[in-house]
Structure 1
Amino acid sequence: MPDELSWRPHSSHWGAFAAARDGSLVRVRPHPGDPQPSPLLGNVAGASQRTARVGRPLVRRGWLERGPGPDPARGGAEFVAVSWAEALDLVAGELSRVRAAHGPGAIFGGSYGWGSAGRFHHAQSQVHRFLNGLGGYVRSVETYSLGASRILLRHVLGSDELLEQPTTWPVLAEHTELFVCFGGMPAKNTSVNAGGASRHQVPDRLRAAHRRGARFILFSPISDDLADDLDPVWQPVRPGTDTAVLLALAYVLVRDGSYDRDFVARYCAGFDEFHRYLTGRTDGQPKTPSWAEEISGVPASFLTGLAHEMASHRTLVSVSWSLQRARHGEQPVWAGVALAALLGQIGLPGGGFGHGYGAVAGAGAGRLEFPLPTLPQGSNPVPEFIPVARIADMLLHPGTSYDFDGHRLTYPDIRLVYWCGGNPFHHHQDLTRLRRAFARPDTVIVHEPFRTATARHADIVLPSTTTLERNDLGAAGNDDLLIAMRQVLAPFGQSRNDYDIFTDLAERLGFGPEFSQGRDETGWLRALYEQWRGRHAGWAPAFEDFWAAGELPLRADTPRRTFLAGYRADPDRAPLRTPSGRIELYSATIAGYGYDDCPGHPSWLEPEEWHGSAKAARLPLVLVANNPASRLHSQLDHGEYSRSTKVRGREPARMHPDDAAGRGLRDGDVIRIFNDRGSCLAGLVVTDRVMPGVVQLSTGAWFDPVPTADGTLMCVHGNPNVLTRDIGTSRLTQGCAGQLTLVDVARFDGPLPPVRAFDEWPEGAP
């Protein structure tokens, strides 16, 4: 790369980098301090490409001609290009109409804030600030990633601090002797981190533990959920059955008297109730290793031996986020906490329980000791909310009651959806159903840089800039640097940043000065930085000096911290915020809710779709819809690195050789994966990296649907969420249950439909 290029510092959720314009191309090079830069940087140049960009404001012709109202044509109808003035007038008029006729509780403010690593151009903050200034909106709570865990941990450990402040990597690398990993610690996930990662350290920390002599046990249907250079012992486990394995390990500790009685007595509550369940006194079924083997396929002898090894070594029980993204996803998390409690090592360096190591780069990196610059969002006077994964239920069933964390709530009647940042046609499940849900509101407004499926299902599409087309402050609460994210490219076409769009809308709606406070982009960046510097970082240089330098170190190294060390040292002076003040192996609060899908202690609850269900006779494979290795969620799926992993232009699906041979399939075939909810095409990769009975297809391929004769949709590109079930993990948390579902697979014969997901839209096309 020629040195004469004008390199500008920038950042992304998958790492800090510098970028430069080289004619019509964008060159990218990783931050020099990053020991293992993410390959996802290979997608960044795709943000500059004309392919799939929205270059002008667009309005759906049917909405423009007939006015607002429910319309099943959303998603496949013609758009008309309009001027910015006309588009903004239409948006402002529709917001005013809905507020006057139905109140602010009829507006849903949708966003899922992975759009930018910047602190100012954070789409979720921008849209919430705007809608709060307008009078409020219905919001969503929790996340698709951790919808079950956060609520469950607040009941069991008194807070969800474990997710933000777990034991840090230097402590694990130095002290842990045995890593028992349920769902693994996949290296692909450690590329990404909300707000950025200037130093990808997880692989090196794991290798350091391995060099010291630590052993790794992997329970997963996929062998590369732990890196090969860690020499892991891979124990395949049927998807969705980890809770049975965890309970059997706990049973052995209790049966053999090798659990830590003193720790349980002093630091835990509810052992007697949990013990009765483990030993079968409550349901007649002891949770023995033989019982777990029948459910999970894990040999009983292996479980018995492992339980003894765990009791005699400094052991970390690690449960991945993926396990709680399934029906009854609360149970493996709770069972993992219970197992770690029986081992008695919670609060000891390198021992205890971990949740999310390998999920993101920042897990185990340690939080900064001070907050970061943050755009104020104001307050929302509308009390109504939904769990984030229940958006289709809300749109389809207004006025219907549902359970959530001990409360009986009612879905609001939403007339206008305002979506800025994120792609629900990536994150959500059962996309045929979601498409019906998006047909119901009067109006859907979307800010989008790209022609995603969400943009296709809008009535008004406002073209927004990408991160390379803006200036910003890049930082994460667990990273070492604050980055001056300098603009690299001019905005594409007529695209504008979200802030400028909202400023013009606020002027039309009568609260422009309150929203903008008289500041443009540069004014806000300077103000946010200087306010932060004055309150929390007086040692930091002035804004102009920071901007010229390009970055600001926030700390020298990862801190050393052991989760719940203070609680272990003195549980009476530092009790947990649970009703008992202790770790709750049994929760009277949860039991009191009376939920049959989440009882008062960790339990094996048979899911509706798994290898052991009656439905498996017709749909014998379990689909594992995990996060992709080639991109962050669906971002920049059209980028060079993401597209390089496709098979015949479609998302790769992996199957065991026995399953492929039994269906007459060969590596490189285009296959049809199907169930009662829909189908998708994918490119087959035959590998023994997945266990028999499993097909693995990552999420994030841009949804490219065609209708089928049975009324469902087939995604010709390979989006697995056309197959997954739209149901909550339980009535306690209503989390996303999209990780696992039953399917079957066949070769796709006949003419292959083209993948159109990245095509430019000609004028007037959907």
Structure 2
Amino acid sequence: MTASAPVVRADARPPVTPHVPTTSHWGAYSVRPEADGRLDIRPHPADPAPSPLLGNIDGALRHATRVRGPAVRRGWLEHGPGPSRARGREPFVEVGWDEALDLVAAELARVRDEHGPQAVFGGSYGWASAGRFHHAQSQLHRFLAQFGGYTASRNSYSLGTSLVLLPHLVGRAGTDAVLRAASSWPTLVQHTELIVAFGGIPAKNVYVTPGGVTRHRTPGHLADLATSGTHIALISPLRADLPEGLDSTWYPVVPATDTALMLGLAHTLLTENLHDRAFLDRCTTGFDTFARYLDGRTDGTAKSADWAAHICGHDADDIRRLARRMAASRTLVTVTWSLQRIQHGEQPVWAGLALAAMLGQIGLPGGGFGHGYGSMGDVGDHGPQLRLPHLPQGPNPVDEFIPCARIADMLLHPGESYEYDGEQRTYPDIRLVHWAGGNPFHHHQDLGRLRRAFARPDTIVVHEPHWTATARHADIVLPTTTSLEREDFGGGRRDTHLIAMHRAVDPVGEARDDYDILGELAARLGFGERFTEGRTPRRWLEYLYGEWREELSRATRADVPGFEEFWAAGEFELPSGPSDFTLFEDFRRDPDSFPLGTPSGRIEISSAAIAALGLADCPGHPVWLEPDEWPGAVAAERHPLLLIANQPATRLHSQYDVGAHSMASKVAGREPVELHPDDAAVRGIRDGDVVRIFNDRGAVLAGARLSHGLRPGVLRLPTGAWFDPAPNDGDGDGDVPLCLHGNPNALTADVPSSRLTQGCTGQHALVQAEKYEGEAPPVTVRRPPPLQDGASVPRHARGPRSAAGGDRDHADHADHLPPLDRPETP
């Protein structure tokens, strides 16, 4: 009997594939591709509050903005490496992988051999994937370290100010305790009577953590505060900085004046003898210096509630009543990360710590000082504190680094000196930028200036899944896979699970993993075996998991499954860890036996080390310093509105801005800007109108959304809309960009918070707004840039060009490069 062919019925359906597990920075989920190409996304079954950001994944995977194949900017391909104002304005030529990799490898070798490895900037911000092996920053830095080294960046845009300041005040272990291991949410629910929340506790941010959160418990804990009797004083010009339904009082202060309010509260505690002198004497140093500043003996001005009320725009009696309530309650003083992203951003963090120290509750359950509640999903979490598997990067042979927010300064001013944390440093001369994982045209400020800075290097290489502004301003773009197109494992810093990230779909176009790309480059440069160690990505996962399994088993005596069992199960629930870190509890009990890592071993309300630096923009104790951009500045006469550029609720940074959830929030196809109805009325702006927001640095078009939930005189325009400069915009020397899509960093200032920390100041900007008359130009960033077939485009055969015919090493180290003729000549 012969076997017959299977019968195919007319109504037959392809076999249903199961959902496969994976995770993201906004939470774990499972995914299944459907027959129509869409994705069926299901949150992790243990997640009590799944993130709405999961709604962006499906529409973004195969969006038109995916980079389908390697591409080279036409001018670079024809004329070779060299500074160019054509970046971001010129078509790309599609080439094959071998040609692209040969070009990158040759250029890396040229720059290293002619200028040294410090002339390569290893740009990567680390947010590209929740996976621990396919972590773009680790992959790139491992590659460049073995290549011979690179100039690195340090700290973050989110916390660049605090990460430098806090070690001076509470030591490095104390900094970690403040940022990652303060009182947990259950402890706050149980013990805290009053939370004074400077910058609020924005619920939109608690869904996000590097590596992800499997169980989003913070929304539930916030709801528990409503029934626990905890009162919250919301100190913010934005009502949305605290969820509805809580027992709260809103203090809609003038933006950038939190430090003045803190000083007014501290002055009330001091003059009414409500401060804890015993705690201050035993656990702090420098209070007497601070007290002389508070009562006016230093400068003749008492920092009273009346003084503070004049600055922050709130009633002096309310300030005094709040100070008395703080002294009579178990009180947590918390400061969001956003408050340190302004000029003099050190001061609200330092003043908040001093205020908490005066209450004497640091080290008590549910009391003291917090920094970041509502800024990140794992602040206040009580999950395990366990190191997860990770790819080793190895040491960087080059010592050069910059604070991450100084990238434009570095590119524009090589050889110039700057101050950082008590050191005098010099910006290196960067000839090649190699970027993988991150989008500086999202994170950075003053995007017109950043465009001029990106014109400076000889070559910019970018690994990217999408045609972001960073990719469009590159010379060579290498398409990379997303998390759904490869295997990995992931989890957050205090997550409850390690998640097996199964490959769900085939790579889009010719996309490759960063590991594959860098392995090919390493092979061309002579260290391929050292980079890969002979392992495929799956073998690396098995190896890294095995090492981690042995370490975890020894440390916790937990029964950790082998890799195959873990992979088949799709996850491993991690052993429980301590609910709260006890550093400040131990310190409070016995400061001599458990000193902090500061010069005094105590909390430094005044710092002799910082005072000795003689920095006018960051003296030795908390002070009120007027920023250049706040409603009381002289500049407010021309630009009377204060723009707040906070984190978006509809995406992580700029990731998946083309996703459905993000797109649903747009107004007139652009990023929404919130205005108070009074401000809108005097400008003839109605809900849904296109609004032009502008200052001397740039302009944006955004869609108006009117709201009483913000202080008059304040606009809210979230970050993360993909930068979309108008065609031929900013071509001339000194011209400013018009972003058609509403990216607020076309308006923000690229100046440091202070010479101590060099943190970013992207939270605020003074602006003016007007209704856009006529038909607004269309948004273009949601389609690819012009692409050409590479077959007929000539390749360069010459060395790097000089900048606009000038001397690259001497003539053009200014913010404003001279205009270049188009097309450029070699």
TM-score normalized with structure 2 length: 0.91
Choose which of 743, 748, 760 in structure 2 pairs with 1:736: 760
5+ long unaligned stretches in structure 1: none
Separation in structure 2 between the aligned mates of residue 370 and residue 674 of structure 1, nearest angstrom: 46
CA contact (8 A) 2:607 2:620 kept: yes
- The structure number with the bigger radius of gyration is 2
CA contact (8 A) 1:481 1:553 kept: yes
Separation in structure 2 between the aligned mates of residue 3 and residue 37 of structure 1, nearest angstrom: 29
Counterpart of 1:221 in structure 2 is 237
For residues 118-163 of structure 1, what are the alpha-carbon distances to aligned partners after superposition, in whole Å with 9 as ceiling and x for unaligned?
A: 0001000000000001010000000000000111110011122111
Separation in structure 2 between the aligned mates of residue 314 and residue 584 of structure 1, nearest angstrom: 22
Secondary structure of the corresponding residue to residue 350 of structure 2: helix
Choose which of 75, 96, 100 in structure 1 pairs with 2:109: 96
Counterpart of 1:645 in structure 2 is 665
For residues 15-36 of structure 1, what are the alpha-carbon distances to aligned partners after superposition, in whole Å with 9 as ceiling and x for unaligned?
A: 0000000021111010010001
CA contact (8 A) 2:384 2:576 kept: no
Separation in structure 1 between the aligned mates of residue 333 and residue 671 of structure 2, nearest angstrom: 33
Amino acid at match of 1:16: A
Separation in structure 1 between the aligned mates of residue 391 and residue 285 of structure 2, nearest angstrom: 41
Secondary structure of the corresponding residue to residue 623 of structure 1: strand
1:500 maps onto 2:516 in alignment: yes
For residues 204-250 of structure 1, what are the alpha-carbon distances to aligned partners after superposition, in whole Å with 9 as ceiling and x for unaligned?
A: 11221220111011010100100011132111011100000001101
Choose which of 357, 371, 375 in structure 1 pairs with 2:387: 371
Counterpart of 2:574 in structure 1 is 554
Equivalence map 1:81-230=2 (5 Å): 81-159=94-172, 160-161=175-176, 162-230=178-246
Deviation at 1:535, TM superposition (A): 1.8
For residues 240-296 of structure 1, what are the alpha-carbon distances to aligned partners after superposition, in whole Å with 9 as ceiling and x for unaligned?
A: 000000011010000000100100000000011000000111111100011111111
Choose which of 745, 750, 756 in structure 1 pairs with 2:780: 756
Counterpart of 2:801 in structure 1 is none
CA contact (8 A) 1:170 1:560 kept: no
Separation in structure 2 between the aligned mates of residue 509 and residue 764 of structure 1, nearest angstrom: 29
Counterpart of 2:10 in structure 1 is none
Separation in structure 2 between the aligned mates of residue 563 and residue 610 of structure 1, nearest angstrom: 37
Distance 1:411 1:103, change over 3 A: same
Choose which of 256, 261, 273 in structure 1 pairs with 2:272: 256
For residues 20-64 of structure 1, what are the alpha-carbon distances to aligned partners after superposition, in whole Å with 9 as ceiling and x for unaligned?
A: 000211110100100010000000113322320001100011001
CA contact (8 A) 1:144 1:389 kept: yes
CA contact (8 A) 1:167 1:562 kept: no
Choose which of 412, 415, 420 in structure 1 pairs with 2:436: 420
Secondary structure of the corresponding residue to residue 492 of structure 1: coil
Separation in structure 2 between the aligned mates of residue 464 and residue 396 of structure 1, nearest angstrom: 29
Distance 1:265 1:515, change over 3 A: same
Counterpart of 1:601 in structure 2 is 621
Choose which of 719, 722, 728 in structure 1 pairs with 2:746: 722
Counterpart of 2:65 in structure 1 is 52
Amino acid at match of 1:110: G
Amino acid at match of 1:86: E
Counterpart of 2:320 in structure 1 is 304
Secondary structure of the corresponding residue to residue 565 of structure 2: helix
CA contact (8 A) 1:167 1:563 kept: no
Deviation at 1:537, TM superposition (A): 2.9
1:16 maps onto 2:20 in alignment: no
Amino acid at match of 1:119: R
Secondary structure of the corresponding residue to residue 788 of structure 2: coil
1:27 maps onto 2:40 in alignment: yes
Q: Which stretch shows the higher mean deviation, 428-437 or 533-542?
A: 533-542
Separation in structure 2 between the aligned mates of residue 557 and residue 575 of structure 1, nearest angstrom: 24
Secondary structure of the corresponding residue to residue 43 of structure 1: helix
Amino acid at match of 1:479: D
For residues 165-205 of structure 1, what are the alpha-carbon distances to aligned partners after superposition, in whole Å with 9 as ceiling and x for unaligned?
A: 22211211111100110001101001111100001111211
For residues 304-357 of structure 1, what are the alpha-carbon distances to aligned partners after superposition, in whole Å with 9 as ceiling and x for unaligned?
A: 000000000000001000000000000000000000000000000000000000
Amino acid at match of 1:299: D
Equivalence map 1:419-458=2 (5 Å): 419-458=435-474
Equivalence map 1:461-610=2 (5 Å): 461-537=477-553, 539-556=559-576, 559-561=579-581, 564-610=584-630
Secondary structure of the corresponding residue to residue 199 of structure 1: coil
Secondary structure of the corresponding residue to residue 733 of structure 1: coil
Deviation at 1:669, TM superposition (A): 0.5
Deviation at 1:78, TM superposition (A): 1.2
CA contact (8 A) 2:229 2:247 kept: no
Separation in structure 1 between the aligned mates of residue 131 and residue 419 of structure 2, nearest angstrom: 35
Counterpart of 1:702 in structure 2 is 722
1:289 maps onto 2:305 in alignment: yes
Secondary structure of the corresponding residue to residue 489 of structure 2: strand
For residues 642-682 of structure 1, what are the alpha-carbon distances to aligned partners after superposition, in whole Å with 9 as ceiling and x for unaligned?
A: 00000010000001111001111111110000000000000
Secondary structure of the corresponding residue to residue 228 of structure 1: coil
CA contact (8 A) 1:146 1:324 kept: yes
Secondary structure of the corresponding residue to residue 276 of structure 1: helix
CA contact (8 A) 1:470 1:486 kept: yes
Separation in structure 1 between the aligned mates of residue 161 and residue 694 of structure 2, nearest angstrom: 27
For residues 553-605 of structure 1, what are the alpha-carbon distances to aligned partners after superposition, in whole Å with 9 as ceiling and x for unaligned?
A: 01358724456111111110000010010000100000001110000000000
Separation in structure 2 between the aligned mates of residue 70 and residue 761 of structure 1, nearest angstrom: 21
Separation in structure 1 between the aligned mates of residue 332 and residue 639 of structure 2, nearest angstrom: 36
Deviation at 1:367, TM superposition (A): 6.2
Deviation at 1:764, TM superposition (A): 2.7
Amino acid at match of 1:8: V
1:338 maps onto 2:349 in alignment: no
Deviation at 1:702, TM superposition (A): 0.3
For residues 67-109 of structure 1, what are the alpha-carbon distances to aligned partners after superposition, in whole Å with 9 as ceiling and x for unaligned?
A: 1100010111111000000000000000000011000010000
Counterpart of 1:80 in structure 2 is 93
CA contact (8 A) 1:449 1:465 kept: yes
Secondary structure of the corresponding residue to residue 450 of structure 2: helix
CA contact (8 A) 1:78 1:765 kept: no
Separation in structure 1 between the aligned mates of residue 349 and residue 462 of structure 2, nearest angstrom: 36
Equivalence map 1:617-696=2 (5 Å): 617-696=637-716
Deviation at 1:522, TM superposition (A): 0.4
Counterpart of 1:64 in structure 2 is 77
Secondary structure of the corresponding residue to residue 321 of structure 2: helix
Secondary structure of the corresponding residue to residue 478 of structure 1: coil
Separation in structure 2 between the aligned mates of residue 72 and residue 271 of structure 1, nearest angstrom: 53
Separation in structure 2 between the aligned mates of residue 205 and residue 287 of structure 1, nearest angstrom: 36
Q: Which stretch shows the higher mean deviation, 389-398 or 155-164?
A: 155-164
Amino acid at match of 2:492: A
Separation in structure 2 between the aligned mates of residue 358 and residue 525 of structure 1, nearest angstrom: 33
Amino acid at match of 2:214: S
Separation in structure 2 between the aligned mates of residue 74 and residue 8 of structure 1, nearest angstrom: 40
Counterpart of 2:802 in structure 1 is none
Q: Which stretch shows the higher mean deviation, 41-50 or 69-78?
A: 41-50
Superposed CA RMSD? 1.4
Q: Which stretch shows the higher mean deviation, 528-537 or 317-326?
A: 528-537
Counterpart of 2:295 in structure 1 is 279
Q: Which stretch shows the higher mean deviation, 165-174 or 519-528?
A: 165-174
CA contact (8 A) 1:453 1:704 kept: yes
Amino acid at match of 2:758: Q
Secondary structure of the corresponding residue to residue 340 of structure 1: helix
Secondary structure of the corresponding residue to residue 311 of structure 1: helix
